[in-house]
Structure 1
């Protein structure tokens, strides 16, 4: 059963008691209550207002004899675990009068598992396996991450910062409805001030903590700076910034970049303005390119330029406009500089290699008719 709190409202003639909620995260919930009134009730509604989501209203059917027992399918509501859900009841009476109950709430914890918690005014930590030493390591990593992020962008993180640690990626993906994206190990919900990470037990747990947690906290900082434009900010910028603050960067990024450079499969950054590929290998290269490119921009132009870039996008500029107004060159020109400086790619040679087949084809199309005319004339002389 969920813990319940109520906010006071003016007294009404409707007597409501024994309000309870039972749920299984991501599946269903049952709302139940008892009520007494001297009037005839024609309809009863349930209002649901999850934290970070719009309110929804549901008609409660088959409520009889002052009993409410309402099952609700949660699979399509997109409610985040560990968020707070507010709800209240509304009655329509036969004389046209409407009554609303006080507002109740419960914390929508992932009740498939047992959780431990460490709560402070600044950071809330929820984890499954491990002792207080593990929780302290999470806290220390979060604090270091916040300090590092402040050196790149000036943004006030929400308080308390809520950190949820799953024991494996599969449980995290199922909780957040990401089961079709099996490469996801962490996630941030900036609107709720929450980060989710997955840290399996083993020798690499601390390394994963130092990689995932700073990455997701940076997304919260980006959201605070970008404001309503966060969803429209280039994906390569959001993920690139998040990657460069990882305390333990992914060592496979360099390998993937060198392979792409050797195979001439570096993707234009413009292709990563709106989204990343859904497949694991495509997404991994997108992360690798974005991380290296943003790191290059910071080294060449300074952290202040990255903050200004976010602000330019916040002002409504598109992916190309915001970049040009920040750096004075277009995105492709900057990518050419990055490829030459970091990857050692001769972009002029790459352009020639890409263009030469078309040049050869054009030459063939021009020369072929001339050669045919020449042969025809030679034949004429022979006869």
Structure 2
């Protein structure tokens, strides 16, 4: 009897639980239906005023009194959303709301062709609210009439160039995404947007500039925006190399989860490794050896300001990454990038190299230099005799100074001997 009583009690508890669940669902559906009836969106729009910002407008009616309307935006793949309250006005039983979202400064800059999802939240005077469906908008540079090539991996936006050229650039983009995501063992998720500008004047407002002086001295060939998965490139004779380089920056940022402690030499080195002309730095590396301008890797978390030394830093970074991959395999480099996600300082990278490769950054620098001497067919300082070291071209002035000094001493000695006699 006790057994059946327990069974009946359990059955009643289950019935009660099901009743409460269905009641809750019905209540939520009713609430949603009520709110849907309260607000009727007649028209809404998002208009680009690149690079200054976006103008949002909505026209709607509401059966309940509106206190505020809030627009909530998610820009690209940024981790947090942004919101603003809209300006309200009424006419003929309709309510108008508008807001200009400012993106005209470096602190809130949004690159062109960024995908922006947004929704409206209607707040009533009884403190209840209703949230609209999501809307999607591409923040295009509205100075140009854009065309688009869509693939599974990328969206290429272009204007006033041939379809054949745009498709060739799209193919390079997809090949780089495939190659580098395989190398680093990552999935890119949403597609990457690639925006092509035809000249530097058109592109000027589409990229960020460190300073007015630097923008006047340097021509920016490309720029990657990892949070938005946007790549901007200049259409010139190097466009394929630029696409390779900047797309790889996006893949690297995904692999390292946008780590603040991703060493610059490793970041730029991998992007240069993906280049289709890997030997382009041979001459600058020879110059670096001859002038002793090669820098230890720990000093390459920032690059030198001197233009020639900057190019050398890129070459050194590319050569070091190539040495790592060619000699220690793709699995180790992928593992390294995964571990960079978790490090809390630049110094921690030394420990990760030791754990993965069995040597630290200073030891890597020494190993890489020995290998570089062999590649460039230059005799290593370790194998140069004392006489060879003396007669290296840059030491000629030392030898000449010694000879002149010896001659002067000899003349002084003879003069002193002559006067004493």
TM norm structure 2: 0.69
Aligned partners of 2:181 and 2:67: how far apart in 1? 57
Q: CA deviation at 1:269?
A: 0.9
* 2:366 corresponds to 1:336: yes
Which residue pairs with 2:274 in the alignment? Answer: 245
2:67 to 21, 42, 48: 42
Which residue pairs with 1:115 in the alignment? Answer: 146
- Distance change (3 Å), C-alpha of 1:341 and 1:144: same
Greater Rg over alpha carbons, structure: 2
Q: CA deviation at 1:117?
A: 1.5
* 2:356 corresponds to 1:326: yes
Which residue pairs with 1:97 in the alignment? Answer: 128
Aligned partners of 2:282 and 2:98: how far apart in 1? 57
Aligned partners of 1:91 and 1:150: how far apart in 2? 42
* 2:292 corresponds to 1:264: yes
Secondary structure of 1:232 counterpart: coil
Which residue pairs with 1:361 in the alignment? Answer: none
- Distance change (3 Å), C-alpha of 1:326 and 1:170: farther
Contact kept? 2:76, 2:227, Cα under 8 Å: no
* 2:333 corresponds to 1:306: yes
Aligned partners of 1:331 and 1:235: how far apart in 2? 14
Which residue pairs with 1:295 in the alignment? Answer: 322
Contact kept? 1:50, 1:85, Cα under 8 Å: yes
CA offset digits 1:277-300 (Å, max 9, x no partner)? 567555433212101111122233
Secondary structure of 1:316 counterpart: coil
CA offset digits 1:310-342 (Å, max 9, x no partner)? 234345372211112222222112212222331
Aligned partners of 1:286 and 1:261: how far apart in 2? 12
Which residue pairs with 1:197 in the alignment? Answer: 233
Aligned partners of 2:58 and 2:44: how far apart in 1? 4
TM norm structure 1: 0.75
1:126 to 147, 154, 157: 157
Q: CA deviation at 1:154?
A: 3.0
Aligned partners of 1:23 and 1:106: how far apart in 2? 9
Give the paired residue count: 334
Aligned partners of 2:202 and 2:129: how far apart in 1? 43
Q: CA deviation at 1:246?
A: 0.6
Contact kept? 2:272, 2:278, Cα under 8 Å: yes
1:74 to 69, 89, 103: 103
Which residue pairs with 2:207 in the alignment? Answer: 176
Secondary structure of 2:51 counterpart: coil
Contact kept? 1:173, 1:179, Cα under 8 Å: no
- Distance change (3 Å), C-alpha of 1:259 and 1:169: farther
Aligned partners of 1:326 and 1:169: how far apart in 2? 43
Which residue pairs with 2:46 in the alignment? Answer: 21
Which consecutive unaligned segments of at least 5 residues does structure 1 have? 1-8, 354-383
- Distance change (3 Å), C-alpha of 1:258 and 1:171: farther
CA offset digits 1:23-69 (Å, max 9, x no partner)? 21220222222222344333332222222232222122453442223
- Distance change (3 Å), C-alpha of 1:38 and 1:57: same
Contact kept? 1:183, 1:280, Cα under 8 Å: no
